[in-house]
């Protein structure tokens, strides 16, 4: 990973970026994804090329995963089998998506992911009991197959488009394994937040350099926001987490649709 020191950010800009990073990652840690809704556009507006901004965002999001996982690490021990499935079948998708990102059409990826996010928000809103209770179910080969194909495809999206993929993993865990939101979010942040994003950042960083001083600010904002968001989720419970998930999913979806339509005009 090639790092460079940038002189383009003064104290006001640094502080503003930290606050934005903290707030976006707090909501992301609560909902199970969506930090790219605010953080990635801020990096792009700061003048960083898309691929470098995506790599920088992913490195910072590793800190978000660490912050959220430290708060909830005890709950992960009950889902080791599912955890390894996410890493084993999803990581190749992340590598593939990060490797081919330059050849993919961003506007169509934004369109697909935006529509998915809006559908997730509407589904969560229309199902009052969805994700509020956790059920231990027996994992059979059919259920495993239903999980590994989508998790690979989500991995491809994670490697190429940042916003919203954590939300997709969270909803997939709830639908497939009948987890509650707190349990699913904990798994998402350990697997996607730490491992997927670290691997994606490494592949993307080979395209160009990453501004180290900006990265340090984002890491601090991501870690503290991740820890605080995870603490808030545990404090408020599943219903609060579900409501934040629904709102963040809708905002992510609308934001991605606007990006997609704007790039097509």
pLDDT per position as a tens digit, 18-46: 888 888 788 777 776 666 666 776 776 66
Q: Which two tokens stand for residue 60?
A: 């910072």
Can you tell me the distance from the alpha carbon of 227 to that of 95, in angstroms, rounded to the nearest whole number?
27
Q: What is the pLDDT of residue 88?
A: 94
Query: Helix, strand, or coil here: 3?
Result: strand
- Residue 89 contacts residue 144 (beta carbons within 8 Å): no
The pLDDT confidence band at residue 163, using thresholds 50, 70 and 90, is: low
Question: What is the C-alpha separation between 193 and 71, in angstroms, rounded?
Answer: 14
Dihedrals phi, psi of 4, to nearest 5 degrees: -135, 155
In this prediction the pTM is: 0.76
Question: Can you give the pLDDT at residue 1?
Answer: 47
pLDDT at residue 225 above 60?
yes
pLDDT cut 90: percent of the chain above it: 8
Predicted confidence at residue 11, as pLDDT, reads 66
Tokens of 213: 């001083």
Give the number of domains in the chain.
1
Q: Note whether 219 and 63 are within 8 A (CB).
A: yes
43-50 long-range contacts, Cβ below 8 Å, gap at least 24? 43/214, 46/8, 46/9, 46/13, 46/17, 46/214, 47/8, 48/211, 48/214, 49/208, 50/106
One DSSP character per residue, 137-191 reads ----HHHHHHHHHHHHHHHHHHHH--TTHHHHHHHHHHHHH---HHHHHHHHIII
Confirm if 95 and 238 have CB atoms less than 8 A apart.
no
State both tokens at 22.
């903290």
What is the reported pLDDT for 63?
81
Question: What range does the domain containing 239 cover?
Answer: 3-264
Helices 197-205 + 141-160 axis angle, to 10: 40
* pLDDT score at 45: 64
pLDDT above 80: residue 126? yes
């Amino acid at each position: 990973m090639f790092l460079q020191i940038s002189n383009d950010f003064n104290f006001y800009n640094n502080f503003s970026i930290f606050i934005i990073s903290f707030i976006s990652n707090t909501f992301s840690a609560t909902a199970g994804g969506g930090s790219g809704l605010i953080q990635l556009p801020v990096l792009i507006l700061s003048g960083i090329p898309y691929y470098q901004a995506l790599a920088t965002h992913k490195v910072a999001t590793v800190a978000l995963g660490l912050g959220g996982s430290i708060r909830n690490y005890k709950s992960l021990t009950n889902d080791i089998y599912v955890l390894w499935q996410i890493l084993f079948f999803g990581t190749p998708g992340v590598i593939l998506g990060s490797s081919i990102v330059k050849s993919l059409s961003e506007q169509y990826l934004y369109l697909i992911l935006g529509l998915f996010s809006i559908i997730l928000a509407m589904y969560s809103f229309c199902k009052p009991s969805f994700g509020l209770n956790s059920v231990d179910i027996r994992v059979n080969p059919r259920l495993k197959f239903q999980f590994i194909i989508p998790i690979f495809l989500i991995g491809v999206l994670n490697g190429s488009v940042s916003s919203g993929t954590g939300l997709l993993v969270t909803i997939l865990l709830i639908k497939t394994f009948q987890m509650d939101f707190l349990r699913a979010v904990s798994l998402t942040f350990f697997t996607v937040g730490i491992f997927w994003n670290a691997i994606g950042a490494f592949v993307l960083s080979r395209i160009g350099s990453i501004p180290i001083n900006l990265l340090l600010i984002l890491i601090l904002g991501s870690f503290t926001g991740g820890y605080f968001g995870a603490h808030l989720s545990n404090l408020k419970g599943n219903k609060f987490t579900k409501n934040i998930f629904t709102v963040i999913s809708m905002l992510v979806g609308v934001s991605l649709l606007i990006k997609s339509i704007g790039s097509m005009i």
